[in-house]
Each structure stands twice: as C-alpha cells, then as structure tokens.
Amino acid sequence: MSRITRADCEARDRADPLAPFRQRFVLPPDVVYLDGNSLGALPKAAVARLQQAVDREWGQDLIRSWNLHRWIDLPQRAGAKIGRLVGAKANEVVVADSTSVNLFKLLAAALRLKPGRRVILSEPGNFPTDLYVAQGLIDMLGGKHELKLVPGERIADAIDETVAVVSLTHVNYKSGRIHDMAAVTAKAHAAGALMLWDLCHSAGALPVDLNAAKADLAVGCGYKYLNGGPGAPAFLFVAERHQESIRPPLSGWMGHAHPFTFDIGYEPAHGIARNLCGTPPVLSMSTLDAALDVMLEADMKAIRAKSLALGELFLALVEQECGRHGFANGSAPQHERGSQVGLLHPEGYAIMQALIARGVIGDFRAPDMLRFGFAPLYNRFVDAWDAVAALKAVMDARAWDAPKFKTRAAVT
Ligand SMILES: Cc1ncc(COP(=O)(O)O)c(C=O)c1O
C-alpha cells in the first residue's frame, strides 16, 4: 500500500460533502479537536440562540416567555428533534434531567412494569453510571432485585425469564463496539424482558432506529455528538405502547396531567410528558435545541460513512507513522464500532497530556486508553493527519516523559 500523505487528506476534504458544516462551529484555529465524543464543539447557531434566550426571552419578556416563547414545551419540541435522529416518533422522546437521572427513572419504571422479575441484566463494561444507578435503585428497593453482569458478547444468551430489563449502552464508551440493537432487543422480548438502550455514544454519531429494533426504553446525553454544550440536558425515550403504563418514580409537577391546577394529588400526564419531573433548564435546553437543528440538516448516512473513513484513516496513519512506538489498537473492527477509536499504551495518560499540550485534544480512559472521537460535522481528514503527526513527534522525542504530564487531573 502506498504511503498516505497530508495532500491525500486535503484531497479527501475537498471531496467531502459534509465539509461545509465545519464553518457552522466555533473552533480554535490552533486546535485539532478529537473529543466530540465527550463534549461536542460549539455550534455558532447555539451562541445566537443562547444570546436570544438570555437577552430577549429572559431579559425582556421575563416570565411571559413560558408561553410567549413556548419554554413550557421545549422538552417535547427538542425531544421530537432527537426522535428523528434515533428512529423514534415525535411523541416518544423528551429532553430532561441528566442521563444518570433518566436511567434511574426508566429502570425504576421497568421494574414496576415487570413486578414478578428480579434481575436487571447488564455488562461489566457498561459505562459506570449505568451500573451505579442500577445498584442504588436496587438498594433503595430493599435488595429484592439483583444487578447481573455478563460480558457483552454473551449477554443475549443470559436473558431468561428472571430478567425484568436488559440495560446496555449501544456503543461502548471505550472500545466503541456496537451492540446489535435489533437482535438483543428481540432476545429480551422472547424472554419477556424489557430492553433499555443508553445512546450516549450513538445519538448523532450513527444511524439508530429504536422503533425498527422494537426497543422499549432509551436514554442519552445532549453534550456529546449532539453538541448541546457542557452539562446539556439529556433525553429519554419510551415506546408509545408503554407510555400509559409507566408509573414515574420521580413524580414531579412537570409530569403531572395538569401542573397549573395545583392539585394535591399526583395524576400522571398522558404520554411521554409524565417522565418529566421539575422545571426544565431553559437556557441549556435552548442551546441544545439550536444545535439539533444544525445536525438535522446533515444526512446521517453521510455522517456514518465519514466517521468510519476518519477512524480508518487515523488507524492507518498510526500504523504508518508510529508503528514502532508500541501502540495496540483498542478499538472494535471498523463496521462494529461507533465514531471513536482507542489506542492502548502503558504511558497513555502522559502521552495524551503531551498531545493536548500541542493542541491535539483527545482524552484518556483508565487504565491505558488514548481515546479519539471523530465528529464528522466538523472534523476533517487533515485533522487525522495532524493528530498523528503530533503523536509521532511526542513519541519520537519522548516528550510525554516529563513530570508535568504524569500528574493526574480531576478529569481525564
Ligand atoms: C454511556 C454513558 N452513559 C452515561 C454517561 C454520563 O451520564 P451523565 O450525563 O448523567 O453524567 C456517559 C458519560 O460519558 C456515558 O458515556
């Protein structure tokens, strides 16, 4: 195979149908940003929308904005937009709370829907919050239930009639490995269990079709590929067929059938709205809503094709440029992974810090993974080249081998 050059990467950028989207984002000129899988970049439209929400809606229209600017149904409006990205109907998704809180709400609701069953089934490689939330819920319910963990590749065979709900992250946060959503969901249903998917690393990164897979429940975050901003509100999905049976464990007034009659008794709203709890964070939800509009302009098939191409290019360049530096590939194979790749190296943390000092931003996942995410709306093929060139420079000069790069920060 002939050597890949930077000019080859530039040519691929020129031919890229998604290239014009890059200008829609605020990106520092001296940074190669490969961490959109953790915190998406800032869409210019989100800046304008936030300014409008602050200056006009909050500053001038004040509390009238709940009706005037429809703050009150922003969770449903933004949810409907996310529905288009994840194969759900407009009335099956709402934006609310954080992913962790939504997991709590939906796992609790799932256990109530399956009163005779005691197992929440997941995998040890799931994102820790998914496991912690399940543990906390089980503890709160008096220990009658059990969190059973089975490695991802064997999970489908472990679903039996004791399982109330199978709770999995669709795209693994480390390896990027994708579960077969339709196949696992079908297995869960065959055993009479419910299926809950965490879409944190899927929504906006690759085509997802919750309804084609007959998924029951799902959650996901707004700050990764959806570009909603740091701590952006999350979303949840409840398939229409379950919506009237769900008994929300966090029975707040925003999920009440008539919040403004101020009744003493709780009466759940019809439909997805009963999964809301308290007042929505209007400013961050407005930012997310504007970011979603940008993403909805793009073709998800083109996003997926570019994401796979960027990941493959990056791995090929690592082999070409850094082959002697001892990196192992920690990623799932191309068509089985989401929009990220991982390199394994015992000095991964220090190497990532040295890279960040050179303006190439990825992140580190313990114990030894350098993680690079590709956000096809704003990442270019030359970004892959420039990142690997910086990695080569860091490795050739052992630039990572300095005390300042070895002290762990609170966030890695
Ligand atoms: C799969 C997955 N679930 C949940 C979370 C985090 O949830 P929260 O937004 O509640 O912190 C993350 C964060 O990276 C994640 O990767």
pLDDT digits (tens, 9 = 90+) for 337-393: 999 999 999 999 999 999 999 999 999 999 999 999 999 999 999 999 999 999 999
Which of 291, 288, 228, 235 minimizes the C-alpha distance to 98?
235
Work out the pLDDT band at 90, boundaries 50, 70, 90: very high
The reply to whether omega before 367 is within 30° of 0 (cis) is: yes
Taking the CA of residue 231 as reference, the ligand 1 atom at the shortest distance is 9
Evaluate if residue 206 carries a pLDDT over 90.
Answer: yes
At 1 the pLDDT is 65
359 in the same domain as 212: no
- Rounded to whole angstroms, how far apart are CA atoms 32 and 169? 28
The rounded Å distance from CA 161 to ligand 1 centre is: 29
Evaluate if residue 398 carries a pLDDT over 90.
Answer: yes
Taking the CA of residue 98 as reference, the ligand 1 atom at the shortest distance is 10
The rounded Å distance from CA 261 to ligand 1 centre is: 35
37 in a structural domain: no
The rounded Å distance from CA 128 to ligand 1 centre is: 8
Among 240, 273, 297, give the residue marking a domain's end: 297
173 in the same domain as 306: no
115 in the same domain as 91: yes
381 in the same domain as 259: no
335 in the same domain as 252: no
List ligand 1's pocket residues with C-beta within 6 A.
98-100, 127, 129-130, 169, 173, 198, 200-201, 221, 234
Output the residue whose Cα is nearest ligand 1's atom 9: 99
24 in a structural domain: yes
CATH number for position 391: 3.90.1150.10
State how many domains the chain has. Answer: 2
For residue 51, list its beta bridge partners: none
Domain that holds residue 394: 6-30+299-406
Output the residue whose Cα is nearest ligand 1's atom 7: 99
Output the residue whose Cα is nearest ligand 1's atom 14: 38
Give the C-alpha distances (Å, rounded to integers) separating 390 from 199, 321, 386: 31, 10, 6
The rounded Å distance from CA 103 to ligand 1 centre is: 10
Taking the CA of residue 38 as reference, the ligand 1 atom at the shortest distance is 14
322 in the same domain as 180: no
What is the average pLDDT value for the chain, to the nearest integer? Answer: 97
270 in the same domain as 162: yes
Higher pLDDT, 350 or 409: 350
Taking the CA of residue 99 as reference, the ligand 1 atom at the shortest distance is 10
241 in the same domain as 120: yes
- Rounded to whole angstroms, how far apart are CA atoms 205 and 36? 10
183 in a structural domain: yes
Contact 164, 193 (CB under 8 A): yes
Output the residue whose Cα is nearest ligand 1's atom 8: 99
Work out the pLDDT band at 409, boundaries 50, 70, 90: confident
The rounded Å distance from CA 55 to ligand 1 centre is: 31
293 in the same domain as 306: no
Taking the CA of residue 171 as reference, the ligand 1 atom at the shortest distance is 1
Q: Among all residues, which ones are annotated catalytic?
A: 127, 198, 223-224, 371
276 in the same domain as 146: yes
304 in the same domain as 276: no
The rounded Å distance from CA 262 to ligand 1 centre is: 34
Put simply, whether the predicted model's pTM sits higher than 0.85 gets the answer yes
Work out the pLDDT band at 127, boundaries 50, 70, 90: very high
Among 237, 265, 297, give the residue marking a domain's end: 297
Among 264, 297, 330, give the residue marking a domain's end: 297
